[in-house]
Amino acid sequence: MGIFGSLFGKKKSSGLPPELTQIFDKLAEIMEDEKMQNSMNHPMIQDQIINGLDVDELPDGIGDFGHAAENPIPVNGALGELLYLSLLKTKDTNQRLLFHRLGSVESLDMYETVTIDGKKWDIMFFSMYHPRKSRKAPSGYQLTDYRSQPLLYGTNQRVENFPYGLQAAIQQTTEKMIGIPLPPPQVRQAEENVRFSRPPEHENRMKIAVQHAQGFLS
């Protein structure tokens, strides 16, 4: 059983609507309850998270919020990163984001995102030692309601052929977390039906972002 396994017991979903409803309601509860989320972090970092700055944006942040290494998004641990990104949508087209973690540079985590229609690629930075997730969205995005669809749209693993292979990675992530492989069906549909291709300018931004983050923290 995963971290959340005790919340559901050992019984897996049979696909019956009442059981699915119960699972989704519990997932929504977890997504809302940041104290519960914090208690699930590794004991070695719990104190850092609980005693971190309780802010929507770092007071000494410089540059475009979430897009600059000097102004990362405050969240409550690795779980906070997953939940925050799963709640983001584009402002103009209302598209959800698929995402994976590119890696870490000391205290920063860096994620690559793409809209589920494959049209908008992006890079976001996170600072994860905070007691809650930021309630501020990066420019061009909006945060949705927790109960609109309490599912993960990405992983804190690195997916080599991202976003192809993301469905399997989400299955592994949710199996580990809640004891149930539960990727949104939209992810499978996107992998099967959308032609994802990183634009050259995005590839270049990825390289620059990694180099800049390493230089900023060196």
Q: Are 94 and 87 in contact (CB under 8 A)?
A: no
- How many C-beta neighbours within 10 Å does residue 191 have? 17
pLDDT of residue 5: 38
User: What is the span of the domain harbouring residue 31?
Assistant: 5-217
Residues of the chain predicted below pLDDT 70: 1-17, 19-20, 147-150, 213-218
* Helix ranges restricted to H, 105-199: 166-178, 185-193
* CA distance linking residue 78 with residue 107, whole number of Å: 12
Confidence at residue 217, expressed as pLDDT on a 0 to 100 scale: 55
| Residue-wise pLDDT tens digits, 192-210 | 999 999 999 999 988 887 7
Confidence at residue 36, expressed as pLDDT on a 0 to 100 scale = 85
- Contacts of residue 95, defined as CB under 8 A and 6 or more positions apart, other chains included, come to 89, 115, 116, 117, 119, 120
Total domains, the chain:
1
Quote the tokens at residue 88. Answer: 């983001």
C-alpha 77/C-alpha 174 separation (Å) is 16
